[in-house]
């Protein structure tokens, strides 16, 4: 079970790089904030997810497209929590 989760995290990180290269998916900042399996786990403190996120940010010079959209919308990098006053109502 744990091995399957690890492989899915690695696969999604690689998929994010491929999607960025080919422009397959739109850049939704809320995906990074609420549903991205790597970014949400990294912000919760998972060490392996933090390692993957740092590696992805180094390789792509700032993160995946969803992380960059999150940075543009909220003003924080994908590895940082959103300040309470910056959250949109609703």
Domain presence at residue 89: no
User: Does the pLDDT value for residue 83 go beyond 70?
Assistant: yes
- Cβ proximity of 17 and 60 under 8 Å: yes
Range of the domain at 36: 2-82
Domain presence at residue 88: no
- Cβ proximity of 65 and 57 under 8 Å: no
Confidence category of residue 29, pLDDT binned at 50, 70, 90: confident
Domain presence at residue 20: yes
Domain presence at residue 69: yes
The reply to whether the predicted model has a pTM over 0.85 is no
Report the domain count for the chain.
1
- Cβ proximity of 53 and 36 under 8 Å: no
Average pLDDT, integer, range 29-39: 85
- Cβ proximity of 68 and 25 under 8 Å: no
- Cβ proximity of 12 and 53 under 8 Å: no
Domain presence at residue 87: no
- Cβ proximity of 15 and 8 under 8 Å: no
pLDDT at 47: 92
Q: What is the pLDDT of residues 36-52, one digit of tens each?
A: 888 889 888 899 988 99
């Amino acid at each position: 079970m744990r091995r399957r989760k690890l492989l899915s995290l690695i696969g999604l990180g690689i998929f994010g790089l491929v999607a960025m290269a080919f422009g397959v998916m739109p850049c939704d900042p809320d995906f990074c904030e609420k549903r991205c399996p790597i970014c949400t786990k990294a912000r919760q403190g998972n060490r392996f997810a933090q390692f993957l996120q740092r590696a992805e940010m180094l390789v792509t010079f700032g993160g995946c497209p969803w992380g960059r959209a999150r940075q543009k919308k909220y003003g924080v990098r994908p590895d940082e929590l959103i300040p309470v006053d910056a959250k949109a109502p609703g």
